[in-house]
Amino acid sequence: MITGLLAATTPVAAATEPDPVDRTVADLVRDGFPAGVTALRDDDRMRHYAHGVADTATGEPAETGDRFRIASNTKAFVAVVVLQLVGEGRLSLDDTVEQRLPGLIRGPGYDASAITVRQLLNHTSGLHDPLDPHFFDPYLVDGDRGYVYPPREVIRRSLLDPPERGVHYSNTNYLVLGLLIERVTGEHLGHQLRARILDPLGMRDTSFPVLDPYLHGPHLHGYDLAGEDMTVFSPSYDWAAGAMVSTVDDLQRFHRALFGGELLAPEQQRAMFEAVPSSEFEAYGLGVERLTLPCPDGPREVWGDTGAGPGYYSLAFTRGTRTVVTVLTSYDLAAELRGDQPFPASPLPALTAAFCTT
């Protein structure tokens, strides 16, 4: 989720150092992120940067191959599966939720026969996340980090309040899309993600855990603003909207394939870029987001996604032949719920360093 990332920003002065990306990642770690890891690809040239520690308790250094929770970067993967099904004629962007999942959407002011697949993908459906301030209490108050929220329960709780109007980012849209994929294919979402994307692209370090709250293998620990380790956290509440685990290299491989036209037919590739503005700087396409960066020599558009969840903030964006993926290991969900800044410093320099300095 990128809401507020570019709020009240001004053009950032171009850096004069030989490698502004490396400098910026190091600066973000000095500003309070325990670790910052980046993969930057230009054509066939790959660069990696890793600063800070993977685990504050042991002091183990962060490595570029460490896994982390990618949160809402998951949405692009789910959107690819949906758009592939559209290309295969098994689904239409104009299909409604009521046609495909009758009875799922019931609540004050909701009309499932007027909510289309396209609207779910670009956050114009009116569905919102659960507004109950106690929704996250099992994790944050009771300390049950393994608590499981089934997708239908999250959706049900989202429908207790009337719909929002206009363009509003919502994880619930992608929970509905996940159920839609399973209904159309007759298979679990995780199987579809692996068969259609992960295996063909050789993304061996990427997974889609649904119930397991632990990260396995080499991984970065994630923290809140007080330094509490938030790594163990059930991905169930986010499911199709944000449960995936990956590495910076695997994410850049996915972005290169997606924006290079390897995953979608031309018609669906064009549809992906049909964006609806959500602010002066941001717009939502179908599973991807467009940012307009305030660079010193004028605005530059980049496409991709961000992911924000307990302990982790990640950015994966592409412009032309350049792709940058950065993960920073501090995000405070409780602070976000209070309306406070959830990270130690703005992650925006990670993008401006990569896209504004050359």
Contact 248, 208 (CB under 8 A): no
Rounded Cα–Cα distance for residues 90 and 110 (Å): 26
Rounded Cα–Cα distance for residues 304 and 296 (Å): 21
HSE-CB for 139 with a 13 A CA cutoff = 23
Rounded Cα–Cα distance for residues 141 and 48 (Å): 38
72 is catalytic: yes
Q: Which of 232, 229, 227 is nearest to 216 (CA)?
A: 232
Who's near 76: CB < 8 A, 6+ residues apart? Answer: 254, 258, 287, 288, 304, 305
Provide the residue type at 306 as one letter: T
Among residues 72, 125, 234, 278, the one annotated as catalytic is: 72
Tokens representing residue 13 in the block: 């002065």
Active site residues: 72
